[in-house]
Homo-oligomer: A and B are copies of this chain.
Amino acid sequence: MEKINIGLIGLGTVGSGVLEMISNNQDKISNITGRELIIKTIVVRNVAKHREEVADDILLTDDVNDVINDPDIKIAVEVMGGINPAKQIITDLLNAHKHVVTANKDLIASHGDELAKIAHKNTADLVYEASVAGGIPILRTIVNSFAADEILEVKGIVNGTTNYILTQMQQKSWSYEDALKKAQELGFAESDPTNDVAGIDATYKMIILSQFSFGSHIALEDINIEGIQNIKLEDVTQAAKFGYTIKLLGIATRVGNGIFAEVAPVLVPSDHPLATIHNENNAVMVTGQAVGETLFYGPGAGGLPTANSVLSDIVSVTKNIVLGTTGNTFNNYQHESEPIDKSNVIYPYYLSLQMKDIPGQILKVTKLMTELGASFSQIVQTKANDTEARVIFITHSMSKDQLKTLKEEIAKFDSISLNAAYKVLEN
């Protein structure tokens, strides 16, 4: 059987998973593609450290040129991560007419369009299923199965670390700090968790999901990003009493001929499918004009699940090599988006305020709301401490502009402070 040689760049959790899966599932892969896949070369930073893990017939090297300059290697798999030097390496690989499979969401979200052009110019494939939601095959599904439908919204839980923390806060009544510590102990959170807990990782994934769903690139600076660092256990508990579960959601919605995108904590109705996604799992909900609501659920990270997405890319590239159809862009839908009017983006909000426990405070807030043309659907008052009350409001739908003005006006009061303002998803 004809062989296809692969160069693997990076041998961390995902790289090891790719190595394991290719060796375990060679029969099925050959059955489907008619080719034998061979890992010929592996590039690592420290050769000595990985010597034991790698079979002797594989070239283990610290020089990426051993892949770039090897005419026998057809497919390069980049699982080293980070933007530099990965960007230059992938550029060089594509210019050397290698097909590239990558799991690098930061790079694809930031420079995907540029790299896709280089790939196309070289009749090379550039695919990156594993860059979003690890084990969930969402990108290829959007390409193949929503090709004729208009996607109205794509939203989901696309970061496992934050979902693990929020699940533990809810189920165990832990504080954010305790849940984060546990996540770090279990390896679900890094020692510097900022990229995850501040919502950056989820935002990169939403940029890629939006490109596939709407055909347009949204710049990082056009996305509202709020992390989970300030979520208090009392808010998780209070949300549950109202019938909601707090989740870090990425939401990208078509508004007119534009797209509104946001990553933020959201109160999700407890019987909504997204509320039932626990721990490190991910889920992406795609709403199509014709098909309605669909949901794709699976492991968001982990070596083997992510490796499975890498392998599905490798098999796809292999089929293209066999059929002579390489060089087509992974996301082939292009559509110009217009700037949106944010006053059209309306949601109910969960507002948590702390105020001096003296008469007239709630009146101040309700007066403000009335002046803004907004209103409440639920109010609960509890004791915050000896001299202050905690008052929780769930509002009717209001715009971002209304919310902004409300926040500015509340900031002017000495006796009232706004501790939290989270979107509420309706069923």
Instruction: Give me the interface of A with B, judged by CB distance under 8 Å.
Output: 17, 21-22, 24-25, 28-29, 31-33, 129, 135-137, 140-141, 144-150, 215, 271, 273, 276, 288-299, 302, 304-305, 307-309, 311-312, 314-316, 323, 325, 332-335
A sample of 26 cross-chain residue pairs with beta-carbon separation below 8 angstroms, ordered by A number, consists of A17-B290, A21-B148, A22-B148, A24-B150, A25-B149, A25-B290, A28-B147, A28-B148, A28-B335, A137-B141, A137-B145, A137-B146, A140-B145, A144-B144, A144-B315, A146-B308, A146-B312, A148-B315, A290-B311, A291-B308, A292-B299, A292-B302, A293-B299, A294-B297, A295-B297, A296-B297
Contact of A25 among B25, B140, B150 (CB under 8 A): B150
Q: Which residues of B sit under 8 angstroms from A296, Cβ to Cβ?
A: 294-297
- B298 near A294 with CB under 8 A, answer yes
Q: Which residues of B sit under 8 angstroms from A137, Cβ to Cβ?
A: 141, 144-146, 294
- B25 near A148 with CB under 8 A, answer yes
Contact of A290 among B21, B33, B276, B325 (CB under 8 A): B21
Distance (Å) between the CB of A173 and the closest chain B CB?
18
- A31 near B140 with CB under 8 A, answer no
Contacts A32-B147, A148-B29, A276-B271 hold; do A304 and B333 have CB atoms under 8 A apart? no
A288 to B302, CA, bound (A): 14
- A297 near B297 with CB under 8 A, answer yes
- B297 near A28 with CB under 8 A, answer no
A347 to B24, CA, bound (A): 29
Q: Which residues of B sit under 8 angstroms from A289, Cβ to Cβ?
A: 24
Q: Which residues of B sit under 8 angstroms from A298, Cβ to Cβ?
A: 291-295
A193 to B84, CA, bound (A): 61
- B32 near A332 with CB under 8 A, answer yes
- A292 near B305 with CB under 8 A, answer yes
Q: Which residues of B sit under 8 angstroms from A215, Cβ to Cβ?
A: 31
Contact of A288 among B308, B332, B334 (CB under 8 A): B308
Distance (Å) between the CB of A127 and the closest chain B CB?
11
- B31 near A312 with CB under 8 A, answer no
Q: Looking across the interface, which residue of chain B has its beta carbon closest to that of A307?
A: B290
Q: Which of A215, A307, A308, A334 is packed against the most chain B CB atoms within 10 Å?
A: A308
- A28 near B150 with CB under 8 A, answer yes
Q: Which residues of B sit under 8 angstroms from A144, Cβ to Cβ?
A: 137, 140, 144, 312, 315-316
Top 7 nearest A-B pairs (CB, nearest first) are A137-B145, A148-B311, A294-B298, A147-B315, A290-B304, A295-B297, A291-B308
Given A32-B333, A146-B308, A323-B323, 12 extra CB contacts under 8 A: A21-B290, A28-B147, A28-B148, A137-B146, A147-B312, A273-B276, A290-B305, A292-B298, A292-B302, A292-B304, A292-B305, A297-B297
Contact of A333 among B28, B273, B292, B307 (CB under 8 A): B28
A157 to B323, CA, bound (A): 36
Q: Which residues of B sit under 8 angstroms from A33, Cβ to Cβ?
A: 147
Contacts A137-B144, A298-B295 hold; do A308 and B149 have CB atoms under 8 A apart? yes
Q: Looking across the interface, which residue of chain B has its beta carbon closest to that of A316?
A: B144
Contact of A148 among B135, B290, B308 (CB under 8 A): B308
Contacts A291-B135, A304-B290 hold; do A145 and B297 have CB atoms under 8 A apart? no
Q: Which of A22, A293, A314 is packed against the most chain B CB atoms within 10 Å?
A: A293
A34 to B228, CA, bound (A): 44
